[in-house]
Amino acid sequence: LLGRTGTPGGGYSSPNGQRTYTYRTTTGPGGASGFDPFSGFDNRTSKKSLDIEASISLTFAEAFNGTQKRVGSGEVSIPAGVKSDSKIRVKGRGQVDPLSQKRGDLYLKVDVRPHSFFQFEGDNLVCELPITPDEAVLGASIEVPTPDGSVTLNVPAGIRSGQSLRLRGKGWPKAKGGGRSDLLVRVAIAPPKNPNAIERECYEKIRANRSYDPRSHLKQISL
């Protein structure tokens, strides 16, 4: 659990002992403004001023699966599928008004630590899949990691670097409505860094018998 701060709209004591108020406009029920220019002169403390905010750091797996975290003196349930910058409201864990004994709420701002293979792209997850030149030309069936285990992905013949293949329902848990987003598998063709003698001979034959020129369109480019 990281640093704790009061949310805007709260009352704080200034160094000279006077109470300072910060106002903000919010929309209340029925579209009415929540701004009250006279609230600073009321002896009662607003519910908003009792709310506090803190940050909580989660691993990728904790955010994906959901977890229990100890925050202060109690446990907090983290729902599956939370993302960075989302907020979790914990009722009754804020500051206590010494006069009314009302207690505000705690808002936990989530920080999901990066994963080494999966990244976020909007609501979906994305990963990079290295494939060999022959797999790109001929196509292949390749095992691909997903958040809940490996699956077989059919890579079509003739695929190019940068193209993505979609694994539906293998992405991040959806916050509303249930289900999962998609996992986008982005292809990266990886040529051999140190080809052996047989590989080199094969590539030399391919070069000698190549049937197409991928740069033919460049001849038409001019200023």
pLDDT tens digit string along 83-138? 999 999 999 888 888 888 888 999 999 999 999 999 999 999 999 999 999 999 99
Helix (H, G, I), strand (E, B) or coil at 206: helix
Q: Are 80 and 65 in contact, with CB atoms under 8 Å apart?
A: yes
Q: Which amino acid is at 39?
A: S
Q: Are 51 and 107 in contact, with CB atoms under 8 Å apart?
A: yes
The pTM score is 0.71
Domains of the chain: 4-112 (2.60.260.20), 119-208 (2.60.260.20)
pLDDT for 26 beyond 50: no
pLDDT of residue 167: 98
86 versus 33: the higher-pLDDT residue is 86
pLDDT for 64 beyond 60: yes
User: What ranges make up the beta strands (E) of the chain?
Assistant: 4-6, 11-13, 19-21, 52-58, 67-71, 74-78, 87-90, 106-112, 119-121, 124-131, 140-144, 151-155, 164-167, 183-189
pLDDT of residue 46: 60
Helix (H, G, I), strand (E, B) or coil at 61: helix
pLDDT of residue 11: 38
Nearest-angstrom CA–CA distance, 153 and 166: 9
pLDDT grade for 182, boundaries at 50, 70 and 90: very high
Given CA atoms 38, 42, 44, 49 in this order, what sign does their dihedral have?
A: positive
Residues making up the chain, counted from first to last: 223
Nearest-angstrom CA–CA distance, 175 and 159: 33
pLDDT grade for 45, boundaries at 50, 70 and 90: low
